[in-house]
A and B are shown apart, each in its own frame.
Chain A
Amino acid sequence: MSSASDAGVVVPRFGTRGKAWLALLGVLIVAGLGAWAYQLQQGLAVTGMDNVFSWGLYIMLFVLFIGLSAGGLIISSAPKFFHSKRYDSLAALGVLLSLGCIVVAGLLILPDLGSPSRVTGFLTSPDPRSPMVWDFGIVLLYGLFNVGYLWLLTRRDLAKMGSRLAFGVEDTPAGRERDRKRAFWAAAIAMPLAVGLHSVTGWIFATQIGRGDWFNPLVAPMFIMKALVSGLALLLVTGILVDRFTRFRFPRELVPELGKLLGIFVAVHVVYLVAAERLPHAWAAHFEFWSITSAFLVGDTIHFWLWTLIGGVLPIALLAVPSLRRRIKAVFVASVAAIVGILFEGVYLIFTGYHDLNIDAAPGVTTGTDYTGLEADIWATTGSYTPTIVEVMVAVGLVAVGALIVTLGLRVVPIQPDDRTPVSAERDDTTATTADPVATDGGRRPEDEADAEVTGDA
């Protein structure tokens, strides 16, 4: 079936469906470029941002994609660090996913700039005090690290299939053994690097005294936790889809297992950390027991509810019940919900910063976008924001770039070579086969097949 030249590549060639997918991505990317060109020509006036609400969809999605880039790298590096082979079959896919997400995050900054051609200032005159400079450095480092790590994990298999991407590396048993050791050290670097990336991105906000709840020491830990939630959820979603549409096999017993882990992450994030953040404020601001309780439990904006209900209650409900957790469809839905929730957490964060002004006396702040003539009202005393179609098109185009990177990666990089197919999960297996009566050979039981069908169509 698979010849030596495509061994391990889960998409040996693009079929009709693959080509249609590529064409769709192409259309979205071209549309995004067109929208960005329009924005460059017209100025940021074509976005929904103004002087009060000065960061919008681009930064909200930047925060989301920084988080999304965590999961793959952590799932592939943490087990390696503890010398476990259990998740080997997901390792390369995870790093590929991390790479795609960090590229999207980095690119999302460009359309947010008023004068993008001056972005070189990061290199020519950086201010080391600026958290954005720290973030620029670590995003760059993280992106390059992902490229190197992905290559380290797959170069022997690239060599085996004769790919030029092996860059002269040869496939020898001794070499594979050396790479395994190097992967341990790379994993040892990957984890602090990921913690650094998410903390620094959190500190972009957490250092700001002028924007309400941003100035909060919990923001950086929240960013790490939401990276774990959204990153793992994205790995599950992508893994399940790639399993459905390519030769890639997501080991069945890993689905409920990772689902359980995702449930724990969501609980720590949405239940524990949110409580830890809100309780002291609610307690200090209210007197009666029930008013403290309601201030603590009841959120004030739609974004808060979208985050905690869709991104918290729903996934926890689906993942806490063992019989539900074993259904691929349930894990898939829970993962999508968790990602949607994390998206709205970012939206919520930006809104808490920009909705209220510190000095909000009338007439307020000049918006800088509403001048239509002498009668125009250019003033605002609260921030409001709705993204425009231009912003949405640019953002979708950039997300399509990330999807294209992952898709082409599946075509070029052997993310699941023959000797690493799901069997690996059995090797240091301790619980899965006994706890879950699911075949561990990558084969599916009939009812799971039906399950996956529904998933694929969803």
Chain B
Amino acid sequence: MTDYGMVIDLERCIGCNACAVSCSQENNVSLDKQWNRILTEGGDAMDTPEGSYPENGRDGTLSMNHLPLACQHCDNAPCVKVCPVNATYKRDDGIVEIDYDKCMGCRYCMSACPYNARVFNFDDPKTLPTDGTGNVEERKRGVVEKCTFCSHRLEEDLDPACTVACPADARIFGDLDDEESTASRYVEKYETEQLLDELETDPNTYYIRGEMSPGRTRSGNELEGTEKKDVGNPNGVATDGGDGQ
């Protein structure tokens, strides 16, 4: 079995928003919403620290961190359990996906999701380019949508757009059922947390805090992490702009 999951190393994340931008572009997310948000753990505004400025040398307490947040693809997904019409479902490979043809837009799943990962098309989506890139299914007004782990890219053996876009190698995508996958090894080796784990949603997204993982860099002659899968299989259609071909 496959159980797709993501490990996000918060020690590596530099808060550049590249993953958020590439997500919106890849998935034609409307300009008034984001599937993938980069939150600032720190001050009251984005990219501001909390604490006090060092007035006399080293007495400052400023601290700031970034928390990328999208659908956590929970094993015990409340959104799946509340959907009255089976429009939201958990796939066998661990991805929580939405059938846009079934969704009637009751937004019960938005109440159910403790991460506020879901967004609703109150209006017609406004995308750039206007007609979208054609990579993903069109979502009309009146349905709920969210991160799909780029399931359309996985079909072509590509990593999700956010993972490819990350310049700091903070995102590792892989199969949590495969003990040899980098994602599984990092969950095993580093201190990870699942967000709001007290709610027992059991997300497939793990966050590394504390000791920094090596990302994909080499330690000695060994590649610690797998290579980014940004080159599609030769018979498929490249969805990353084609520069890997």
Distance, CA A422 to CA B209, complexed state (A): 75
Least distance between A108 CB and chain B CB atoms (Å): 12
B44 contact from A42, A124, A362, Cβ within 8 A: A362
Asked if A127 contacts B85 (CB within 8 A), the reply is yes
A112 contact from B81, B106, B116, Cβ within 8 A: B106
Distance, CA A118 to CA B144, complexed state (A): 13
Give B110-138 as 1s and 0s: 1 = Cβ < 8 Å from A's Cβ atoms: 11111110111111101000000000000
Asked if B86 lies at the interface with its beta carbon under 8 angstroms from chain A, I say: yes
Distance, CA A95 to CA B140, complexed state (A): 42
Asked if B85 contacts A43 (CB within 8 A), the reply is no
Contacts known (A210-B112, A371-B32); A121 close to B142, Cβ less than 8 A: no
Distance, CA A118 to CA B99, complexed state (A): 12
Distance, CA A357 to CA B37, complexed state (A): 14
B82 contact from A121, A132, A357, A371, Cβ within 8 A: A132
Chain A residue, CB-CB nearest to B31:
A371
Asked if A133 contacts B44 (CB within 8 A), the reply is no
Distance, CA A367 to CA B116, complexed state (A): 11
Asked if B238 lies at the interface with its beta carbon under 8 angstroms from chain A, I say: no
Contacts known (A125-B102, A378-B33); A210 close to B85, Cβ less than 8 A: no
Give B220-241 as 1s and 0s: 1 = Cβ < 8 Å from A's Cβ atoms: 0000000000000000000000
Residues of A within 8 A of B140 (CB): 115
A368 contact from B67, B83, B105, B119, Cβ within 8 A: B119
Residues of B within 8 A of A133 (CB): 84
Which among B39, B85, B143 has the greatest number of chain A C-beta atoms within 10 A? B85
Asked if A367 contacts B85 (CB within 8 A), the reply is no
Residues of A within 8 A of B105 (CB): 44, 113-115, 118
Asked if A376 contacts B32 (CB within 8 A), the reply is yes
Give A397-421 as 1s and 0s: 1 = Cβ < 8 Å from B's Cβ atoms: 0000000000000000000000000
Asked if A427 lies at the interface with its beta carbon under 8 angstroms from chain B, I say: no
Give A117-131 as 1s and 0s: 1 = Cβ < 8 Å from B's Cβ atoms: 011011011110111
Distance, CA A211 to CA B104, complexed state (A): 22
Contacts known (A43-B141, A125-B102); A210 close to B114, Cβ less than 8 A: yes
Asked if A210 contacts B78 (CB within 8 A), the reply is yes
Asked if B18 lies at the interface with its beta carbon under 8 angstroms from chain A, I say: no
Asked if A359 lies at the interface with its beta carbon under 8 angstroms from chain B, I say: yes
Least distance between B82 CB and chain A CB atoms (Å): 5
Asked if A363 lies at the interface with its beta carbon under 8 angstroms from chain B, I say: yes
Instruction: Tell me the chain A residues, 366-396 only, with Cβ under 8 Å from chain B.
Output: 366-371, 376, 378-379
Asked if A361 contacts B41 (CB within 8 A), the reply is yes
Residues of A within 8 A of B144 (CB): 114
Least distance between B180 CB and chain A CB atoms (Å): 32
Asked if A305 lies at the interface with its beta carbon under 8 angstroms from chain B, I say: no
Residues of B within 8 A of A50 (CB): 122
Asked if A209 lies at the interface with its beta carbon under 8 angstroms from chain B, I say: yes
Least distance between A346 CB and chain B CB atoms (Å): 15
Least distance between A360 CB and chain B CB atoms (Å): 9
Least distance between A127 CB and chain B CB atoms (Å): 5
Distance, CA A371 to CA B195, complexed state (A): 29
Chain B residue, CB-CB nearest to A115:
B142
Instruction: Tell me the chain A residues, 125-177 only, with Cβ under 8 Å from chain B.
Output: 125-127, 129-133, 136
Least distance between A66 CB and chain B CB atoms (Å): 16
Asked if A132 contacts B110 (CB within 8 A), the reply is no
Asked if A71 lies at the interface with its beta carbon under 8 angstroms from chain B, I say: no
Distance, CA A209 to CA B198, complexed state (A): 10
Least distance between A273 CB and chain B CB atoms (Å): 23
Asked if B122 contacts A368 (CB within 8 A), the reply is yes
Least distance between B137 CB and chain A CB atoms (Å): 15
Asked if B104 contacts A361 (CB within 8 A), the reply is no
Residues of A within 8 A of B78 (CB): 208-210
A54 contact from B39, B120, B126, Cβ within 8 A: B120
Residues of B within 8 A of A378 (CB): 31-33
Residues of B within 8 A of A353 (CB): 111
Asked if B45 lies at the interface with its beta carbon under 8 angstroms from chain A, I say: yes
Instruction: Tell me the chain B residues, 89-118 only, with Cβ under 8 Å from chain A.
Output: 102-108, 110-116, 118
Residues of B within 8 A of A118 (CB): 85, 102-105
Instruction: Tell me the chain B residues, 44-95 only, with Cβ under 8 Å from chain A.
Output: 44-46, 48, 67, 69, 78, 81-87
Residues of A within 8 A of B199 (CB): 209-210
Asked if B116 contacts A126 (CB within 8 A), the reply is no
Residues of B within 8 A of A361 (CB): 39-42, 67
Residues of B within 8 A of A376 (CB): 32
Asked if A121 contacts B85 (CB within 8 A), the reply is yes
* 8 A-B pairs in the complex with CB atoms less than 8 angstroms apart: A112-B106, A118-B85, A129-B81, A136-B84, A209-B201, A211-B111, A359-B196, A369-B123
- CB-CB nearest 6 A-B residue pairs: A114-B105, A114-B142, A210-B114, A121-B85, A371-B32, A361-B39
Beyond known contacts A45-B122, A114-B143, A363-B45: 18 more, CB 8 A cutoff: A43-B121, A51-B33, A51-B120, A54-B107, A113-B142, A114-B107, A114-B141, A115-B104, A121-B102, A126-B84, A127-B83, A127-B86, A132-B106, A208-B111, A210-B115, A358-B116, A362-B40, A363-B40
